[in-house]
């Protein structure tokens, strides 16, 4: 497959356009220099549409499009639970988590931990998140994005890794979060449009002239096993998605950790003008998540019929792109690049935020604002360099990289959820209990993986969460409680939400109930 001159022109026009737009929205008024609030929290002025779009752009990248399409090819629609369950999780985040974070003026998740528990847990978790973002998230986006770029263009894969990293760094380096968030509405529009085109054209081909709906019904009729949301125990992929546990078990822990306590996700909502704007943005993102499986999973399922002999599942989406006509291919490829660079830029900015505010700024009694911005830009460049150097060694041997990412993060997420949930809602929790949960989560996960290798990792996440919760509660009750360390205010937090938020939340839940009923 080769891009035509028209396709190349569309892609280059997108790259130039998003770069110029990012610099334009990042401009400052005459006489004003960027400070930390401007660079890391977009001046606390993001509107709801930018928050919702940026949440999705930060989330949907190569690891979703390429990885989840690959899992759709191998497993089927069941992998869409990661998307649909996320929609419900976003409602929880908007109603119960964001009011506390915004009431207390939180910039970073490690900052919340220090204000709630103490400095040791802040340092431990800041180090963890920096390692996770650089060596799991950034590397996965670079590597999986390069797979798509190299298959479409014929470019050497490592060359693609370097070009993706450099462009994502360059377009957000000056403006920080504002450059990322205010361009993400363009990125998400292109992503949705391009994804729907791929899904529509592949289904239309399956319909053999009778249209998209006929193609979908044919695919469902000939491969009904790929449309089961709840897998039976005899399914070869039950270990990845263990039946009803997806709805009532460990996937909740994975989603709550990702959407509620993950810096590069929650940072968009923390940059809202106020709590109501943040909640509207989260609700907008929840509706978009309902649509995502059509974009990221359905093309992979269609590839089961259109390209049944792929050597690796992660080749499904790039292979479906080969079916696209000239012009449309350029648009869809631009959409894929948009997803890659938007999500990568979000991770880069969050690495810069955590390093600057949770490490560098803490060492200065009165840090210079311009120096904080300068340090953030240096940290961003170092993160990209490390990602480029380690992408192939870490991810080059995995067939389904999305599953690798979930497996790895599953070692830590139970403890993260315990620490934050207790920190938000149980004042007796202390730093000793939090540290016990953080360490215990990793140790217990390793022990269970070795001692019980047949246990599905989602079930392991749920079990480790319960054990880490008991450990944190026990250690907190057995050790001294120091109320002076806790400066997080929750007594005056208003958890009431607007009528519009409540109506939207009911609509999201009703759609989810209908989807799971239809594809049970």
208: left (phi over 0), alpha (psi -120 to 50) or beta: left
Q: What is the pLDDT of residue 451?
A: 95
Residue 43 makes CB contacts below 8 A (sequence gap 6+) with: 37, 178, 271
| Distances in whole angstroms, Cα of residue 214 to Cα of each of 259, 291, 475, 515 | 36, 20, 59, 19
Q: Of 405, 409, 342, 355, whose CA–CA distance to 382 is shortest?
A: 355
Is residue 124 scored above 70 in pLDDT?
yes
Q: What is the pLDDT of residue 4?
A: 85
Q: Can you tell me the distance from the alpha carbon of 7 to that of 23, in angstroms, rounded to the nearest whole number?
A: 25
Model confidence pLDDT, tens digit, residues 255-296: 999 999 998 889 889 999 899 999 999 999 999 999 999 988
- The whole-model pTM stands at 0.89
76: left (phi over 0), alpha (psi -120 to 50) or beta: left
Residue whose pair of structure tokens reads 């009803």 in the numeric block: 244
- 290: which 2 tokens? 């309902």
Model confidence pLDDT, tens digit, residues 11-41: 899 889 988 988 888 877 665 567 778 788 8
Sorted by where each starts, the structural domains of the chain and their CATH numbers stand as: 36-206+268-397 (1.20.1730.10)
Q: What is the pLDDT of residue 1?
A: 58
Model confidence pLDDT, tens digit, residues 82-122: 899 999 999 999 999 999 999 999 999 999 999 999 988 98
- Kindly tell me the burial class for residue 68, based on how many C-beta atoms sit within 10 Å of its own C-beta (0-12, 13-18, 19 or more): buried
Q: What is the pLDDT of residue 31?
A: 58
DSSP assigned state of 95: I
Q: Can you tell me the distance from the alpha carbon of 200 to that of 315, in angstroms, rounded to the nearest whole number?
A: 19
């Amino acid at each position: 497959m080769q891009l035509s001159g028209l396709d190349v022109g569309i892609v280059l026009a997108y790259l130039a356009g998003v770069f110029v737009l990012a610099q334009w929205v990042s401009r400052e008024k005459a006489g004003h220099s960027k400070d930390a609030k401007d660079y890391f929290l977009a001046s606390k002025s993001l509107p709801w549409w930018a928050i919702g779009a940026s949440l999705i752009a930060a989330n949907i990248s190569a690891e979703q499009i390429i990885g989840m399409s690959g899992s759709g090819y191998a497993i089927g629609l069941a992998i869409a639970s990661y998307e649909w369950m996320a929609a419900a999780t976003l409602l929880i985040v908007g109603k119960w988590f964001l009011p506390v974070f915004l009431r207390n003026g939180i910039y970073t998740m490690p900052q919340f931990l220090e204000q709630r528990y103490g400095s040791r847990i802040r340092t431990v978790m800041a180090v963890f998140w920096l390692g996770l973002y650089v060596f799991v998230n950034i590397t996965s986006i670079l590597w999986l994005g390069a797979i798509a770029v190299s298959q479409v263009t014929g470019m050497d894969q490592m060359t693609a890794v370097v070009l993706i990293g450099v462009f994502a760094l360059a377009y957000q380096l000056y403006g920080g979060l504002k450059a990322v968030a205010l361009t993400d509405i363009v990125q998400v529009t292109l992503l949705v449009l391009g994804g729907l085109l791929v899904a529509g054209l592949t289904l239309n081909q399956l319909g053999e002239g009778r249209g998209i709906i006929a193609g979908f019904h044919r695919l469902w009729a000939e491969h009904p096993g790929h449309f089961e949301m709840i897998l039976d125990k005899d399914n070869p992929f039950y270990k990845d998605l263990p039946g009803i546990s997806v709805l009532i078990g460990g996937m909740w822990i994975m989603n709550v950790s990702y959407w509620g306590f993950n810096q590069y996700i929650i940072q968009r909502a923390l940059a809202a003008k106020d709590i109501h704007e943040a909640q509207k943005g989260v609700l907008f993102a929840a509706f978009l998540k309902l649509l995502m499986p059509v974009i990221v999973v359905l093309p992979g399922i269609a590839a089961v019929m259109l390209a049944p002999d792929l050597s690796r599942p992660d080749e499904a989406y790039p292979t479906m792109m080969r079916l696209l006509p000239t012009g449309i291919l350029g648009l869809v490829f631009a959409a894929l690049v948009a997803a890659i660079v938007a999500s990568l830029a979000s991770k880069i900015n969050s690495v810069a935020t955590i390093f600057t505010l949770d490490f560098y700024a803490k060492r200065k009694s009165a840090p210079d604002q311009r120096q904080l911005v300068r340090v953030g830009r240096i940290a961003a460049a170092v993160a990209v360099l490390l990602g480029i150097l380690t992408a192939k060694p870490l991810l080059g041997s995995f067939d389904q990289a999305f599953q690798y990412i979930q497996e790895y993060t599953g070692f830590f997420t139970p403890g993260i959820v315990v620490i934050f949930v207790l920190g938000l809602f149980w004042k007796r929790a202390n730093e000793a209990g939090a540290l016990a949960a953080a360490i215990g989560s990793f140790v217990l996960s390793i022990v269970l993986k070795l001692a019980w290798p047949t246990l599905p990792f989602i079930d392991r996440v749920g079990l480790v969460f319960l054990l880490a919760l008991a450990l944190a509660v026990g250690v907190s009750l057995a050790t001294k409680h120091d109320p002076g360390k806790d400066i997080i205010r929750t007594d005056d937090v208003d958890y009431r939400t607007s009528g519009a938020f409540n109506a939207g939340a009911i609509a999201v839940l009703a759609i989810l109930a209908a989807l799971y009923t239809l594809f049970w």
